[in-house]
Structure 1
Amino acid sequence: MAIAAPLSAAAGLLLVTAYPALAWWPMAFPAVVMALVPLAGRRFWPAVLVGLLFGATFFSVNLLFTARYLGPIPWIALSTLEALLTAVFAVPIALAYRWLPRVMPGLVGRLVLLPALVAGLWTLREQIVGSWPYGGFPWGRIGVSQVNGPFAEVASWVGMSGLTFLVVMLCAMVIELVRAGRFRDLRRAVPAAVLLVVLVALPQFPTTDAGSMRVGAVQGNGPAGYFDQRARGAVLNAQLAASAPLFGQDMDVLLWPEGGVDSDPTTSSQTAAVLDELSRRVDAPLIVSAVTERGPELFNSSLLWTADGGPEQTYDKRHPVPFGEYVPDRAFWEPFAPDLIGLIGREYTPGTARPLFDLNGIGVGLAICFDVIYDDVVWDGADDGAEVYMFQTNNADFRGTDENLQQLAFARMRAIETGRSVVNISTVGTSQVIAPDGATLAELPVDVAGHMITDVPLRTGLTPAVVIGPAVKIVLGAGSLVALLVAGLSVAVRSRRQRKTPTP
């Protein structure tokens, strides 16, 4: 433990460097190795401690942006929760290292099946963190760390969870090669070499060219933060000013970010008239975002607006942020931090509409802010016929942090995963137009007002990641847990038989 504890803590810190802003994607590999090695041979509580140290160092730095305006309490709460979940799920990995070699002691078990089980359990932990509690927060996935590397295209076949599995499996294979020794027998390296070749050589799954559409996108850089001092309509006016250079230019749609309209145009005739006039000025429909009210419920909404009035179509954010856009179990949590909880006066309702607009026969997939980190929103958009994605976000509450770049990495990986272009527009940046292969077609840097007008490629056809992605997650997550239980049961049966066998 004198070596394992600091090694685990160092692994968490090293893994942070694989994500933006540094984005040193190769660092994910030694970090995963350093996180796994201390778990080999550990019993329950030592495994918990090792996992806790890894999770605490990784998440406390990776999620530091959450403390930018609200102070240390949300940051400590979220990073502690993620670290505790990491600690809990370190135990199954430690058990895999203890049980599987006893059940399958041969080379296939040690060099292939054990790494596969370890990788599956790591992926299961990512899935749990990304779905529980209150919908989870799937930030810091190993798969997204590879967006700048040569393995990113594999995500179009198996999704981000599948890419996480393969990266961790390769790391676990290398560990077992070293533990097995006998380096002169090159046959032992064949499984790891085959997996490495697959990761490097597998091309992105091709989707079908369907032409292009001309998209105007505007980053107003207005006072869109929660605590920004602003007059009524200031964010709307900033967006209008940044849109003015687009008047008279040819385009198929004008895209604004989340929170670009700071009043509800479905209830404010004055705001609706402004959007009507803007649509006439650019001679194109608008995709804008606003908080909308329907009866007693509030929604974070994306609206398709035309000069004839709107909205013609509406998508409501499917995954409102707990303790950011609503407070789950408010009566329970408010006594712990009454001042902070009291700041969240509005309660957003999760949307149920499909994440797609039909724009003159072209399917436009949608995601609002952190929607982009949830697989279901993006995959459902592709299933429903999206030929391009338009992601709207408001990063103003995280100015001066790496949050916008980390979220942008998710947007780029979604382009690769689905084989679709992505227009990712923020109130304050960084905004990009991303090609179906993840390349940047246009960009607006952070903290500037500006616009992009881009011929954005359209694509049809579904990648395997979209078609089998849900099944891959079930097989890797639930399958690894079942495999671990079977291994544990086999060990228990063998031990019982050995106790009953009389000594000659």
Structure 2
Amino acid sequence: MAAHLRLTGELAGRDPGVVVWDESSVALHPARRPDADRLLRRAAAEAGADLLVNVDAEDPSGRITKSTYQYASDGVVNTYVKQPLAPFGEYISLRPVLGWIAGHTEAAEKDRIAGAELVVFEGVGRRVGLLISYESTFPNLRRGLTGRGVDVTIMQGSLTTFHGSWAHAQQASFEALRAVESGRPAVLVELDGTSAAFDACGGRLA
């Protein structure tokens, strides 16, 4: 989180439309950590733009979700909770039977809770449809966002477990395909991987 705050601080005075952090960029739940909440508010104020950060931490009830928070200088504006979860990485199917796997691998020690609906983020200069990592493989989610009138889709990702493999380029290529399918520009923001942006025709912008 400290590295993300430092990089965000470098955007001060550059008039960004929105600042997007990658998947699992905040491992402290703001509802449990007022200090983290204050730092995120301050970062939004200093950048002069809303932040879209991704929280992967226990909330006050003890539940864990992969959630994107839209932070403005005065606090949280909107939230999206990831829907399709990655098997073993974010939950263990039939945990009473297969839970032993967590003791021998890096499988999820605690199941994440899935979200139930898509969210359109506004107040960031465009109507933004945001998805998280594994959701890039589900074209129905992109169609759902397009049906809600988004101007652009943004994907927050983290491929640290793939260690520079073919998976990095593959996920970026998904975004080019989804841009064509949806007729909307698509942006992929990766913690470890290939960050990329494509126009609505699938042309690579960055």
1:389 corresponds in structure 2 to: 153
1:244 corresponds in structure 2 to: 9
Verify the 8 A CA contact 2:121 2:130 in the aligned structure 1: yes
Distance 1:396 1:342, change over 3 A: closer
Residue-by-residue CA offset, 1:163-196 (whole Å, 9 max, x unaligned): xxxxxxxxxxxxxxxxxxxxxxxxxxxxxxxxxx
Verify the 8 A CA contact 2:91 2:111 in the aligned structure 1: yes
2:195 corresponds in structure 1 to: 431
Distance 1:248 1:342, change over 3 A: closer
TM-score relative to the length of structure 1: 0.39
Larger strand share, 1 or 2 = 2
Residue-by-residue CA offset, 1:103-145 (whole Å, 9 max, x unaligned): xxxxxxxxxxxxxxxxxxxxxxxxxxxxxxxxxxxxxxxxxxx
Cα distance, 1:243 vs. partner?
2.5
2:48 corresponds in structure 1 to: 283
Larger helix share, 1 or 2 = 1
1:350 corresponds in structure 2 to: 114
Which of 1 and 2 has greater Rg?
1
Q: Which runs of 5+ in 1 are unaligned?
A: 1-235, 443-504
Structure 1 residue ranges (4+ consecutive) displaced by more than 4 angstroms after TM superposition: none
RMSD of the TM alignment (CA)?
1.8
Match of 1:407, as an amino acid?
Q
1:176 corresponds in structure 2 to: none
1:92-491 map, 5 Å: 236-292=1-57, 293=59, 295-310=61-76, 312-334=77-99, 337=101, 339-340=103-104, 343-359=107-123, 362-442=126-206
Quick one: distance in 2 between partners of 1:399 and 1:342?
Answer: 14
Verify the 8 A CA contact 2:90 2:107 in the aligned structure 1: no
Quick one: distance in 1 between partners of 2:17 and 2:26?
Answer: 20
Distance 1:241 1:370, change over 3 A: same
Q: Which runs of 5+ in 2 are unaligned?
A: none
3-state SS of 1:353 partner: coil
Distance 1:320 1:294, change over 3 A: farther
Quick one: distance in 2 between partners of 1:249 and 1:351?
Answer: 34
- How many pairs align? 205
Residue-by-residue CA offset, 1:447-484 (whole Å, 9 max, x unaligned): xxxxxxxxxxxxxxxxxxxxxxxxxxxxxxxxxxxxxx
Quick one: distance in 2 between partners of 1:250 and 1:361?
Answer: 12
1:64-79 map, 5 Å: none
Distance 1:412 1:240, change over 3 A: same
Cα distance, 1:338 vs. partner?
5.7
1:9-24 map, 5 Å: none
Cα distance, 1:343 vs. partner?
4.7
Quick one: distance in 2 between partners of 1:254 and 1:434?
Answer: 17
3-state SS of 2:205 partner: strand
Verify the 8 A CA contact 1:355 1:377 in the aligned structure 2: no
TM-score relative to the length of structure 2: 0.92
Match of 1:267, as an amino acid?
R
Verify the 8 A CA contact 2:197 2:204 in the aligned structure 1: yes
3-state SS of 2:10 partner: helix
Quick one: distance in 2 between partners of 1:348 and 1:264?
Answer: 14
Match of 1:434, as an amino acid?
F
